[in-house]
Structure 1
């Protein structure tokens, strides 16, 4: 069963954000410099609904249960509880909050922990590779031509 409970646009953090300027908003949607240690390139999905649909169909064909949601970040100095087993993949210490993750977790219904590839087919029509540096430099927010200026 595919479960997608979160919005398809995600800026980060556990609470809604407000921005005083468009420059502040642009900075918030850029990939944080700390994430560059994870790789120099990014895959930009231009049609998230279609991407999730393809993943859902591919998983269904292989009888794989999927769950998708934002990762929640907790402070280990104040959190002293436990997570339900099904929520564990979606919980990380706050020191990783800059990663701003939305995760897809596949349950293959067995104990095989070996690497696995879910073939969703070509994504060339809805995904593009770009360097993080170029992606961040290209983030620009502008008002629609016919809307009143705030």
Structure 2
């Protein structure tokens, strides 16, 4: 089980940052991230977003009109059209295994887990640190339920497309490929909210969760520093 210590949200526009602090949560469709140009979006783009299954060539067997098809030249990908209509909101999550927090020998592992990659700085020059993550999640869930939307939350799982073969069932928004090209996504350590409005389209969704300045603050750097001290095998930050 993971313990989330903080969330970090990075913006390329000061107005967007202030809207966020005011509680306006802007959520693009999952299809948006598949369609934008990588070169203009600082590693936000991902053409592999929303897959519900990914099978290695040797594990795929299809039957068409009684004919068995094998020996595929590349992995087989499956995506449900419905997934493109999900609205998603992404945050960097400083998280570590909860068990680490009672083990002083895990200090280096904790610091590594909570570190923010300098590649994240490419996302923008404005940073908001959320120090009360349970409160933020609670407010998001409340806003989703208030509008009678379906929703799910969680850390993103990163899988190696060179070895993984399987299905993601009903969580296509929470699985991303890593190391399938020169750039990768694992360093983003994402926590996501996925909302299903059951409406087809390309438009974004804006949720209003109210001012969050009581649980978040502007940071002057992307490089979050966490001071960890153990006392009687307990953690204090």
Query: What range describes the TM-score normalised by the shorter chain of this pair?
Result: 0.7 to 0.9
- From 116, 120, 138, the equivalent of 2:209 is 120
Larger deviation: 88-97 or 34-43?
34-43
Query: Could you give the per-residue CA deviations for residues 69-96 of structure 1, whole angstroms, max 9, x where no partner exists?
Result: 1111111111244432x31110101231
TM-score relative to the length of structure 1? 0.74
Instruction: Report the 3-state secondary structure (helix = DSSP H, G, I; strand = E; otherwise coil) of the residue aligned with 2:205.
Output: coil
Greater radius of gyration (CA): 2
Query: Cα distance 1:125–1:81, how it changes in 2: closer, same or farther (>3 A)?
Result: same
Which of 88, 97, 102 is the matching residue for 2:172?
88
Look up the match of 1:141: 228
SS of the residue corresponding to residue 198 of structure 2 reads coil
TM-superposed deviation, 1:25: 3.2
1:101 aligns with 2:190: yes
Shifted more, 70-79 versus 35-44: the winner is 35-44
Q: Is the 8 A contact 1:13 1:100 kept in 2?
A: no
Q: How large is the RMSD of aligned CA atoms in angstroms?
A: 3.0
Partner of residue 62, structure 1: 147
Is contact 1:19–1:25 with CA below 8 Å preserved after alignment?
Answer: no
Q: How many residues are treated as equivalent by the alignment?
A: 138
Cα 1:112/1:47, change in 2 over 3 Å: same
Q: Shift in Å at residue 36 of structure 1?
A: 1.4
Stretches of structure 1 lacking an aligned partner (at least 5 in a row): 1-5
* Unpaired segments ≥5 residues, structure 2: 5-92, 179-183
TM-score, structure 2 as length reference: 0.50
Aligned match of 2:119: 34
- Structure number with higher relative contact order (C-alpha < 8 Å, ≥ 6 residues apart): 1
